[in-house]
Structure 1
């Protein structure tokens, strides 16, 4: 482990976490922090630099997201071995000069990044109008700090929406609004350690960003393997965990939907273990096959479920608005822990604008529209893959959400698939980081997100992937046929 020495500028326009992230990133790129070096713990670095733990946590999250460091279970955060000659470097004598890596010589024409959304269909005119309305003098109270749990008007609208769409039973007082799921999980971790210890079960594979949060807060995360209908309850019981984090509406990353029978069995586990279920209901708005299954929270008569949701995929990630529904016992503990003394992390103006957006019916109309838009994109993606690659690939997780997994049967491993795609100007993404036990990860699979591309871009991107992975180019007439059929779907 190393000491990180730097001066943070409180008066800078750049947030403290961004300053810290940039400093550590620069030290890694320039080789001053070597590969496999263990970074200080969140607690140690916040104490050393006299900054909040949230600031350090946000900086570390960004480093993880960009692939500079990785979290190792029960060990800490370690710098990853990088090909430094391929990274941009800063010349100390001449100031900032960007050295373009060989990997970037081929421009990326199509980026199948999961998390990108269709910003072109964001109702900008309506949002701008409501934002201006929120800035009127009669709403001057919005220019202050606001309620630490989030604005009451927005919490009321969220409670109403969750009941109507997912059957969630809660009052506005049970809802906490925060700047993203990871921030809210950070709040939750402090409560969970008090009531349920530090052993936590999590789907294997599962969202690596969430796993990192739990590791940073000192939890002993037990990987629970997946079955065809969700995580293994047998392994969950054997793990002796009293907390479990799950994505039942659209398992991340495999996309399976947990059936009602297993949901009821999971609630039985919570009662047997006096445990807590963390239900991350992400992507629940975008389900394309079958009828929606009630949320776990709506089935939980013993109040052992924490419910999480976000507006990042349904509106815009940059709004940074997510919410958490606490059961009564955890809500009472939350108040006792003086969390209400912590300033809120989401703009009051954005909160008020979203409350107006929901109360005036724009939200429901937007969700209906985007569900149709994304379904057409997914249909175009899967149709192009099947027509161009046929049985040479297998599509996984098409029931819901804004991404699929693609298993490619050409003998290439994950990195080879990504590299050859990049040579054709297409960016696809690794799946192996979602495994806590990397050795068990599938070796010939990539993640393909489709939210941020047009249907034409999706089809052309798949054509480029077919050429990259199988070395053949579709006939021009066939390509046009695919594009036209996909657009009509």
Structure 2
């Protein structure tokens, strides 16, 4: 007998289709059998005839049955040797109402951006200016392969002012995201030793890029002032990836002493440092930390940045600043590749930066997130006191929180989920996830309303300290 459940979100026609499809594959309905008439099955199930017909038509479209005028729907011959019963088999059990689960009310996702702070008016003006400029072109050509010259010039001037990065437009490559930037670097070093070192913990999205290019990834431990110098002294690698101004995810800052030692190591070993400056301008307790590239006298730093944290991750605009020594290598590999970023977005972004609106926006953004983080830290102190350890609070849009109780990371996350609050584990950022501290969680605070922090944290405190709470 065929069952349907009207109290679940799966459409009824899909339940009918799935049940019949699995009966055909399991052999319960055999070659040559006929399906019940649509009117009859609709009456049995107390559903509309159109609902049944829609399910039957899907079976016809996929070849399970044949519709014969005047004779109904007949089962086709289907090979069943590879059939594996689906766990969602509607034909083998009835559905009982489940205990309602809490939907996610608050999400501490890292990387999400509060849309209310986006400079809609100023960006719209830059888009209009870009359209007007493009309208004046005598012809429409392919984009500049490294990215539009105007944007590369705007970025080089801005980086000089804000981060001390010494470069010109010829060194800047416009990319469609940070991982795309790293794809370019991985390809450029394709014929090297293919040994890639990075911080541990570190951004797992970059580790995956290099692993996919068959690099041997070498983890370098992170200490309280940045990567371990002792671990790199005898390191034989072409590339070392760093987030020196705000290490991800720990939040530590690479000390000036270590910066100089790393630059000397890169020069001595003919290696390159990749400086990921992903959110360096969002520093709250001090001025932004000078970039590693600004200290480099030997041309050994590949500088990379993105507009994902400052404007929008959906815009997909990032950039590389290559050392002079790598420009020819880049051109050798990419001289026939076209830019993958919209010319409209590039032209608008150039206008947005050169007009001064980007720097104004960054000032507003820094103030906005400083206040939001302060509200979170204040609420954490009031609710958790000394039962939680905070790290990484000097900058950015996330913190690490270590809870001082007997619950594991998974238990903390599950209990939060049970009350509609989503929090995250930083374990994926470790080469060996078991190295992640047992009760540590990552909280991105960009999209949580400031006025809600205390109430949310009180709920979490109760959930994490109530022995009767079910896991």
Fold conserved between structures, TM > 0.5: yes
Per the alignment, residue 187 of structure 1 pairs with 184
Distance 1:141 1:370 in 2: 38
- Counterpart-to-counterpart distance in 2, 1:130 and 1:145: 21
Distance apart, 1:123 and its partner CA = 1.0
Aligned to 1:285: 281
Given the alignment, which residue of 124, 128, 135 partners 2:131?
135
2:463 matched to 1:468? yes
State yes or no: 1:171 paired with 2:189: no
The counterpart of 1:380, out of the listed 369, 375, 379, is 375
The alignment status of 1:453 with 2:448, answered yes or no, reads yes
Deviates more, 1:426-435 or 1:455-464: 455-464
Task: Kindly indicate whether residue 418 of structure 2 is the aligned counterpart of residue 432 of structure 1.
Answer: no
Q: As a proportion of its length, which structure holds more helix? A: 1
1:313-352 superposed matches below 5 A? 313-337=309-333, 339-352=334-347
Partner of 1:150: 147
Q: 1:363 to 1:140 in 2, by over 3 A?
A: same
Cα distance between partner residues in 2 of 1:446 and 1:426: 13
d(CA) in 2 for partners of 1:414 and 1:376? 28
Q: Given the alignment, which residue of 235, 240, 245 partners 2:236?
A: 240
Q: 1:294: Cα distance to partner?
A: 1.6
Question: Does structure 2 conserve the Cα–Cα contact (< 8 Å) formed by 1:392 and 1:409?
Answer: yes
**Partner residue in 2 for 1:38:** none
Counterpart residue number, 2:354: 359
- 258 and 441 in structure 1: CA distance in 2 versus 1, 3 angstrom threshold: same
Pick closer, same or farther for the CA change 1:451–1:148 going to 2, 3 Å. same
Taking only aligned residues, the RMSD between alpha carbons, in angstroms, comes to: 2.3
Give 1:408 deviation, angstroms: 0.5
Q: Which moved more, 1:463-472 or 1:281-290?
A: 463-472
Q: Offset of 1:132 from its aligned partner?
A: 2.2
Matching residue within 293, 299, 303 for 2:295 = 299
Q: CA deviation at 1:142?
A: 9.3
Q: Which has the larger radius of gyration?
A: 2
Contact 2:383 2:454 in 1 (8 A): no
> Secondary structure at the residue paired with 2:146?
coil
| TM-superposition CA deviations, 1:24-80 (whole Å, max 9, x none) | xxxxxx9xxxxxxxxxxxxxxxxxxxxxxxxxxxxxxxxxxxxxxxxxxxxxxxxxx
Relative to structure 1, the CA distance from residue 102 to residue 446 in structure 2 (aligned partners, 3 Å threshold; closer, same or farther) is: farther
Identify if the C-alpha distance between structure 1 residues 142 and 203 changes in structure 2 by more than 3 Å, giving closer, same or farther.
farther
The SS at the match of 2:109 is: coil
After TM superposition, the score normalised by the length of structure 2 is 0.76
Gaps (5+ residues) in structure 1? 1-29, 31-83, 94-98, 473-489
DSSP 3-state at the match of 2:189: helix
* Cα deviation 1:155-204 (Å, max 9, x = unaligned): 1110011000110000111000111010110011111233x421121101
Measure the CA separation in 2 of the matches of 1:142 and 1:459.
57
Cα displacement (A) at 1:340: 2.7
Tell me if structure 2 keeps the 8 A contact 1:384–1:462: yes
How much does 1:148 deviate? 1.4
Q: Distance in 1 between matches of 2:297 and 2:100?
A: 54
Q: Does 1:220 align with 2:216?
A: yes
Q: Classify 1:384/1:271 alpha carbon distance in 2 versus 1 (closer, same or farther; 3 Å).
A: same
Offset at residue 463 of structure 1 (A): 2.4
1:201 alignment partner, SS class: strand
- Shift, 1:240, TM fit: 2.1
CA–CA distance in 2 between the matches of 1:398 and 1:324? Answer: 27
Aligned to 1:410: 405
Cα contact 1:260–1:293 (8 A) shared by 2? no
**1:290 to partner: Cα distance:** 2.3
Instruction: Look up the match of 2:198.
Output: 202
